Structure 1
Amino acid sequence: MVGLTLPALWLWSAEAAAKPQAAQAQPGQAAAQVLTWTANDSMTAYKSTPATATAGPATIVFENSAATGNTTGMTHTLTFDTSTAGYNHDVSLNIIASPFDAGGGRHEVQVNLTPGKYRFFCAIPGHQMVGELVVTDGGGTDTTAPQVSAAVSGDRDANGAYIGSATVTVSASDTESGVDKVEYSLDNGAFAAYSAPVSVNQAGSHTVRYRATDKAGNTSPVGSVAFTVVPPQQRDTTPPQVSAQVTGDKDANGAYVGSATVTITATDTESGVDKVEYSLDGQPYAVYARPLVVGQPGPHNVSYRASDKAGNTSAVSTATFTVAAPDQKDTTPPQVSAQVTGDKDANGNYIGSATVTVSASDTESGVDKVEYSLDNGAFAAYSAPVSVNQAGSHTVRYRATDKAGNTSPVGSVAFTVVAPDQKDTTPPQVSAQLTGNQDWAWNYVGSATLTISATDADSGVDKVEYSLDGQPYAVYTKPLAVDQPGAHNVSYRASDKAGNTSAVGTAKFMVVKAAPDCPKPGKGHGCKD
């Protein structure tokens, strides 16, 4: 398969599906060629579509609005087919439009079309809207050869040689007429058509040369990659080394008091350990994943074995030991505590909800149960953190009981839950200030600098944008210096993190060149143009 670098534009995501929004165009100036699709209430055909276009940059406009005849609010998509044979697949486009989205149903994107046919359709289930766009060569002459590269992949040894085989993947792209063919040559052989990654499994040093030709007949310079293939290692016939260690507190007779822990270790220096298995007291073998704790009083046998990735299995070994019951009776209740978590306001209140997590431990017989009570209600079994979202003051009491029947004293935590703040619906405050040297007529001499400031006391400022002399809005990141002589208009706006956008403000000013006989231009120096 030829790896081609092609333009890709996805204008809809799972997040956008939840809330329709205006499509965002690719960066760059709008193309001179504009192709427009419109939709209305029909589910079987677009209202209007272009039939032909010229290869090269194009602005695609898709409008599904009241202005185009959509009176029901129905959603449509403009989707370019990227899989059906016989069509161009180099433009990946999926625009979803609704009269109620942020763009009012109208969206623009920039694409680069190549000669051939494109199939487009509406991707909404049940809609039958489909058509073709025929693109012809615009008459421009492509004199630029394709870009082509190659990558070698495979398992490598410590010296960088490829073990057993190496795979060479060639990728080519052409932004004008498009890639026509890719060719390769192995070890100075004749060039052949490249259609899929090339696998080389012959041991030795190799060189793969490659080139690409576009549809205008331009061929790239020949590139090459050199690599070495070595035979795979000999088959592993040696089983892993495996051992076990038993640990725990022992009594005078060598028995483990309360419990014994069996830790199994395995190593394999060739293919590597695949799995370790154990059997406790004659039970079926199970996969060993962590140290085995045996707490049942009495004698025990743990059999164990290990297998490597080549399928070799070690001989079975056995660890033999005895577990003795502890002598002393447990009379100590569990340790229990609670923690309250959640978002807090400046007064320490929990906003919207608070979560109470109860933790208990018992080092002797072990924890049997944990219970809690909310606001003096009856105690209930605790199995997961308790979420409290009712506004007001609350108290959670808690206790734990161990397996010997000991119950801890009742503990408690008190807290307050407050309702969350209202949604931010106020746009940011935004202003602009002009600075620079001015002449007697208040014109800025040489250049003017515009500084934009924005504040938002609720959700906070998300971004500030500006437009100079009617150009597309751009993100404002630093003061804007304008030195082009003439009259200028700078429009500016700000959006907060809740999605509110301020009204557009405008700064108007004039920039003039400094007079040749005025060494220090500016208001108050007496110089005039």
Structure 2
Amino acid sequence: MKKIVWAVAFLLLVCQAVAINYAPVVQFTYEINGKFVIFDASSSYDPDGYILNYTWHFGDGSIGYGIIANHNYENEGRYNVTLNVEDNLGNKNSTTKTIVIDITPPSTICKLNPDINGRNGWYVSNTILFLNAVDSLSGINRTYYKVGGGAWSEYFAPVAISEEGNHTVYYYSVDNSGNYEETKIMNIKIDKSPPSTHILVDKNSSGGWYNERINASLFSDDAISGINKTFYRINGGEFLEYNMVINLGDGKYFFEFFSVDMAGNFEENNRMEIKIDTVSPEINIISPLKGLYVFGRKIFDTELTFVIGSLEVNVECYDLNGIKLIEFYYDNIYKGNSTSSTSSWEINEFSIGKHEIKFIAYDLAGNKKIKSEEIYIINLKWN
């Protein structure tokens, strides 16, 4: 029995001698402000005692002490910071965290697809905006952009820009250290529409013809990028750059003209015919000619025209661009008209004495010619 008592007592002494002593729990927080960092180990503790020593290894070869330690790093970079602690019983523990010292803002690159495909920095199609942000230390947090006076939006995917006009794109990025990039600007100019050109003539036409010299002017308009050049050619000749009023005289002209805007958009070729005739038609009286006519038959020549009985009047007209109408008057009384270049009318009414036959010819341009002839006639026809 005594042996059992001594054994139990021995075991109790051994257990007291080997009582468990826990190591301290190590943890810390930090606050970064530029290159200056405040480290705080207030959350570290010892379960069965207290912590006597806090030793900091800042990762750049420097050491600090205390529950709270401050350190100013000379250079940016990634640093492994280790906190070593020791409690009142000599137990030690440590923990390590990686911190990033980053005072450099990120950099964002703006690219467009396709590349500029017009002239003078203009796009002649839609374009897609790509933003690529880079930060070598703490990494990119967010990228923002806005177009013109619109609201800022976070960039997630490429942005299509299709509206014509001048667009200013603003963009910037923020890294995980809270560094803000200065706002950058990209100007995008889009003009997908060709210009428009029209011709203006300073005279009025009749039936598509002008009967006097004209001045033809070309006027072009482009509301987006503006007009670069205007070209024209006449009757299939070489295209010339338009820079002054075009003066035209008699003839038929087949005009072709178009413009190119500053973005490089080509207008489709415009076509227009201009017809000018400033010359009056010619009138040739075939009969009666000077002489004596008896019932329509010429007997002999005389200095004047004498007619006995009825008479057929024959006239011929000529114009380079065509006769529109011939009118016949007898003593200024309208007797009829014809659209043929050769026409005839019969005079068979009571007449004694001097009379006038008159012809007025009109060409397609509205030019007219008047020709008259005096005749002496005796026609005793009674109605």
**Considering only CA atoms, is the larger Rg found in Structure 1 or Structure 2?**
2
TM range (shorter): 0.3 to 0.5
Q: Which has the higher strand share?
A: 2
Taking structure 1 as the reference length, the TM-score comes to 0.25
TM-score (ref. length: structure 2): 0.32
